[in-house]
Structure 1
Amino acid sequence: MSSILRYIVKNDAMKTDPKEIYGWRVYLLACSACFGAMSFGWDSGVIGGVINLDSFIQAYGLGSKDDVATANLQGNIVSVLQAGCFVGSLAAYPLTDAFGRRPCLMVAALFTLAGVAMQAAASGHLEPMYIGRFVSGLGVGASSVINPIYVTENAPRAIRGLLTGMYQMFIVTGGMIAFWGNYAVSVHLRGPKQYIVPLSIQGLPALLLFCLMALCNESPRYLARKDKWEEAKAVLVRIRNLGPDHPYVQDEFQEIVDQLDYERRLVGDASFWSLQKEMWTVATNRKRAILSILLMVCQQMTGTNAINVYAPQIFKNLGITGTSNSLLSTGVYGIVKVVSCGLFLLFMADSLGRRKSLLVSSVGQAFCMFYIGLYVRISPPQDGQPVPGAGYFALVCIFIFAAFFQFGWGPACWILVSEIPAARLRPMNVALSAATQWLFNFVVARAVPNMLATVGAHGYGTYLIFGSFCVSMFFFVWFFIPETKGISLEHMDQLFGVAEQHKLEVTEGSKHDVSKIEIEEHSNRSDNRSV
């Protein structure tokens, strides 16, 4: 695996770091945590197909002749999950800081499982369906905050983009499985089983998340923050697959110590309000927080989740007839997303980098959205008429759009928001970013059915609006987003320009080297507290 990665990943860190650190443990940690991401992708894929199944339409009263009323009900069923995700992502910050990354991921998995059970047992009643989707959202939203933090804090710097970007890979994989599951039940099942089965099996990723995280370690950087120095170093030795005296382990551990020492001298003991003050009054931290929030706003305003959730309806609007055919097209769409995301993580995240990927992705997505919108406006598909060549190219543009999203705005946003903050601010920064993502995800999920029904014939204005956002995102990245590939987490302060006076405050009268005696004193204090 190490030799393959060295051939694929092109950055300075990969050339100098020891090959032993790319052992199986670091991949197991990343994959285990990312099953929380798969829960969201699976749910989005399931609900988008289920609401178009005849059995579900009949059971939940979606067959109204009033298109706007049906769109409102569809939007409510879909978007209540995102509302739960918004709440869960905000709650995750204080919990993961207080109790740790690993136990909080396990609790989030239990919330997701409880919500899935309620959805499957709703039996045509909207109230338990709404409550179940909200409860599932609490778990999925919490996972969206904790997962990138946990993976980032465990990952070697050279492949941090690859491992953190696996969050997006698991989202699209879950969506692809759900898309094909919807197609299978539409062909082979009838009656209530047609929607109960896909709603039930979407709990599988959450079950795997709980079981696998029970076997994994806590983040070494979290343990260090809690002054559990010996345990932190032992975990670092194990996941790096090197001896405790190896220079790489010594250097990485010293970087963690130095960074925590610097932050504590700068601000002192952390509290919620002191961290808030540090985030919004220190210029470099404020800049990173605002960039993280804007990245997540942009990610949702590409329109990607509009297509993820309402893909069957969008394919119908572009001339694909029959529920099974639209679900089949959605399944192919899922495959394109998985393949393109895999290509990005292997060949672009840590080689081409985050910034260039976002720029290329913006241009490609804008072209696709503008073409689809103009096609639907100028030559909309007619019922009973064959789809023209221009129409088939519009269908292809849906797949091209998916590929470009996975080449940049999908995985790169999660990578950036989890790696650019200072260590003590990382949970809060990721929580705010994830909450922003879920808020705008909710807005898109709730608004798109109405937009498709009201903004021009076949909703052509919807695509033009999203295309315009993609154009604006190109300029946002060009002027404001720096490149972070191959840079250690402890060196992000330098990249974003820490003020010189803060450096002087930390370094004056002391050095950053922390002796073994100091570390042992930290360890002894930690042991005394536990007793």
Structure 2
Amino acid sequence: MSILSLVEDRPTPKAVYNWRIYLLAAVASSISCMIGYDSAFIGGTLALASFKDEFGFNKMSTSKQNLINANIVSLYQAGAFFGSLFAYPVGYFFGRKRALISSACVFILGAGLMLGATGARGLGMIYAGRVLAGIGVGGGSNITPIYISELAPPAIRGRLVGIYELGWQIGGLVGFWINFGVSETLAPSHKQWLIPFSVQLIPAGLLIIGAVFIKESPRWLFARGRRQKAIENLLWIRQLEADDIYIVEEIGAIDQALEDQRSAIGVTFWSPFVAAYSNKKVMYRLFLGSMLFFWQNGSGINAINYYSPTVFKSIGIQGTNTALFTTGLFGVVKTVGTVIWILYLIDNLGRRLLLMIGAFGGSICMWIIGAYIKIAEPAKHPTSQLGSGGIAAVFFFYLWTAFYTPSWNGTPWVMNSEMFDPNMRSLAQAFAAASNWLWNFLISRFTPQMFAKMDYGVYFFFSSLMLLSIVFVYFLLPETKGIPLESMDLLFEHKPVRHAHKVVLQKIRENEERFRHDVEASGITAEKNQELEGQHVEDTDVRS
């Protein structure tokens, strides 16, 4: 299997895999560049001597410094938690495109406030700006995966949603390195720490500019009854004619899914809330989506993202600049791993196997790092150069990154974007994004205290959670790669879950083959498309 080979649910014209679909995904993923940058730069910026001097950190006790750092970092996650929930009504009533633009505008307002902070004014503007920036990225983290998954052909859905994750890593890579850059090239000053804050504005501006050219989600337009516009957008995105059999099949599948939704829970704003409360199957899937982010944060990734200098100091790396350089290399490994994940792993190896391999390999690395810190106690024996044990610990840290990045880093976002039917998808993604930011908040808020009290035990804690996640994935989570969004209900109904993907994909292919045979036998033409759609609705109902 080549690196760019595709696993298709049905024969797909090559025109479907065109530059437009990648452009739309890339523009929407500018929001993830904002998230990645904000997640990465803040820990290094707070560690800069210029920032500490301006806001009087050197006059504070260590515990107070830890508290202020935790507050600055965690207010962003708190805002993101509420932003991910606010994005549901915006996305439902005004569409995915306008929701993305709104998120970027709120983020820019927050970033602008942060730039007004000075030692004389105190940290208030940074606190307020972090909350607003969090609201913006929280809304974007809800909408972007939904928007991309609604545009994507099934065979490359993971790859396209993966662009969202790639944007996260590119933003993070810049965020990790910018602090090293300003610390090496600028003398400690107000300007030195202000530059990392100001760079936040770049990806937000790019999103607003690019949003002028992107198309609204056809699936959202179908759900809102704007059928003509939906078909127009779908034809533009797929680069096919209206009478192409692929388009006819896709429209039929969307119509069928919406009809099923109307008969099952309805298509109003409150329908998903009623379904989530009354339908055990929906509740179960919401539980799975939330737990994916629990296990993701339980790997320790956000403790490292937000407090990377602290993490590397615990291993024995001395000096601010050295820690920032090592952090930058961490960002490089994450970005390379994400590219491999997008191009090959997510749509070929699949979701389940990736998660289990990543958790197992990452857990072993964490056990080894924790054991080294327990035995060598590098914090009590500081040296100017790492010994062989310290070098090995750093190696296993990067190996952990190589296991984690192409597995748990982006896969939970992909799965949450595709697990739900069209009318539940917005609320479900809001719930999933809110879950991510809730666990993110808890980790970022208490990481400084965890390192202060638990020392090497922090690594054992995270490694244990990674082992437990394997059990969760194996027994509860079905494989979703290559399954059309409209067939997810059937996938989650099949037991045992480890066999569900194979069985459901075979049924889909059998129904599509039967449909194509009927089309060829009847000689249906473009003028009879509406009749064809009606027939397709019956033939593709794999649950009948």
Normalising to structure 1: TM-score of the pair?
0.91
Residue equivalent to 2:156: 159
Match of 1:62 among 57, 82, 101: 57
| 1:64 Cα deviation from its structure 2 partner | 4.4
Residue equivalent to 1:246: 244
Partners of 1:268 and 1:158 in 2: CA distance = 29
Partners of 2:221 and 2:44 in 1: CA distance = 43
| 1:70 Cα deviation from its structure 2 partner | 1.3
Residue equivalent to 1:524: none
Partners of 2:132 and 2:458 in 1: CA distance = 30
Q: Unaligned stretches of 5+ in structure 1?
A: 1-5, 500-513, 520-531
| 1:268 Cα deviation from its structure 2 partner | 3.2
- Within a 5 Å distance, the mapping from 1:15-414 to structure 2 comes to 16-64=11-59, 66-124=61-119, 125-190=122-187, 191-272=189-270, 274-381=271-378, 382-384=381-383, 386-414=385-413
Match of 1:474 among 470, 489, 495: 470
Partners of 2:10 and 2:310 in 1: CA distance = 48
Partners of 1:453 and 1:71 in 2: CA distance = 9
Partners of 2:232 and 2:49 in 1: CA distance = 56
| 1:498 Cα deviation from its structure 2 partner | 8.4
Residue-by-residue CA offset, 1:192-233 (whole Å, 9 max, x unaligned):
111101100111111111111111000000000001111111
| 1:10 Cα deviation from its structure 2 partner | 4.5
Residue 284 of structure 1 contacts residue 498 of structure 1 at CA under 8 Å; is this kept in 2? no
Residue 285 of structure 1 contacts residue 422 of structure 1 at CA under 8 Å; is this kept in 2? no
SS of the residue 2:349 aligns to: coil
Partners of 2:14 and 2:175 in 1: CA distance = 37
Residue equivalent to 1:528: none
Residue-by-residue CA offset, 1:57-109 (whole Å, 9 max, x unaligned):
11123224632221111101111111110110011111111110001100110
Partners of 2:192 and 2:365 in 1: CA distance = 33
1:491 corresponds to 2:490: no
| 1:178 Cα deviation from its structure 2 partner | 1.3
Residue 267 of structure 2 contacts residue 423 of structure 2 at CA under 8 Å; is this kept in 1? no
Residue 11 of structure 1 contacts residue 486 of structure 1 at CA under 8 Å; is this kept in 2? no
Residue 106 of structure 1 contacts residue 214 of structure 1 at CA under 8 Å; is this kept in 2? no
Q: Give the partner amino acid of 1:465.
A: F
Q: Give the partner amino acid of 1:182.
A: N
| 1:15 Cα deviation from its structure 2 partner | 7.4
Normalising to structure 2: TM-score of the pair?
0.88
Partners of 1:481 and 1:390 in 2: CA distance = 38
| 1:517 Cα deviation from its structure 2 partner | 9.0
SS of the residue 2:408 aligns to: coil
Partners of 1:518 and 1:10 in 2: CA distance = 31
| 1:406 Cα deviation from its structure 2 partner | 1.4
SS of the residue 1:485 aligns to: coil
Could you tell which deviates more after superposition, 361-370 or 101-110? 361-370
Residue 336 of structure 1 contacts residue 399 of structure 1 at CA under 8 Å; is this kept in 2? yes
Partners of 1:10 and 1:202 in 2: CA distance = 36
Residue-by-residue CA offset, 1:149-199 (whole Å, 9 max, x unaligned):
000001111000011122211111101011111111001112111110110
Does the C-alpha gap of structure 1 residues 18 and 518 become closer, same or farther in structure 2, counting only changes over 3 Å?
closer
Does the C-alpha gap of structure 1 residues 515 and 241 become closer, same or farther in structure 2, counting only changes over 3 Å?
closer
